[in-house]
Amino acid sequence: MELSHSTVDRRAAEYRDREPLYPVERDAIETMPAALSAGEFGRRDAQWIVRWYYRRFLGEYPDRERREGETRFRENGFDEVRAAIADAAGADDAGEALGALVALEGVDVPVASAFLFFLDPEAYLVVGEREWAVLRAAGELEEPYPDPPDVDDYLAYLRTVRSVADRLDRGLPTLYRALWRLWGAAPESQG
C-alpha cells in the first residue's frame, strides 16, 4: 500500500461522502480549537470528545470498554477537566500535553490524542489501531500497534504522521480521513 497524493485525496473524499460522523467532526474541527484553547467549553463538549473517540467505530468498539471509558471520564470534576485541557493547550510539546490529559480518569493516550486532535487539528492526530495499521502497511511504521500505546509510542506516531502530511502537502485532518478509509485495505485489518 502506498500513501500517495491521489490515494489520500480520493480516500479523504470518500470519508467526507460516506462517513456518518463527518459533518459533526468537521464542525468540531472548525470550532473546538478556539473554544478549548480559550477555556470556553462546557462539560458536554469535553464528554463529546471522549464519546467521539469510541463511537467513531460505529459499534465495532467493544461496548463494555466504551461504556467503562465514558463512565470513568464523567467521574472527573469539571474543574479538573478544564485545568488538564488548559495545561495541554499551554504545553511546550506533545509529551507534556499528553501528560496533562492522561492524568484524568478514563483518559489513556489514545483518548488524550483525540483531545489533542480537537485542540489543534493541524498539529496533532488521533491514534488508534486503524490509523496505525494503515501506516504500518504503507511502510511508514515498523512496529505493530502497541495496545495500548504509551506516550513514547504516540510521539513516534506523531512524527510519522507529520512527516507523511508534510511529504504529501496535506493537513492532518485530511490524512486522518484517508487513513480511516484505507483501514480495510491494510493487511492487519484483515485478521
**pLDDT tens-digit readout, 120-149:** 999 999 999 999 999 999 999 999 999 899
The model's pTM: 0.94
| Domain of residue 59, residue span | 5-190
Phi, psi of 121 (to 5 degrees): -65, -15
DSSP states along 58-72: TT-S-HHHHHHHHHH
Count of the separate structural domains present in the chain: 1
pLDDT at 190: 47
- Tell me the HSE value of 110 on the side-chain side, using a 13 A CA sphere: 18
Map residue 166 onto helix, strand or coil: helix
**Is residue 118 a contact partner of residue 29, using CB atoms and an 8 Å limit?**
yes
pLDDT band of 14, cuts 50, 70, 90: very high
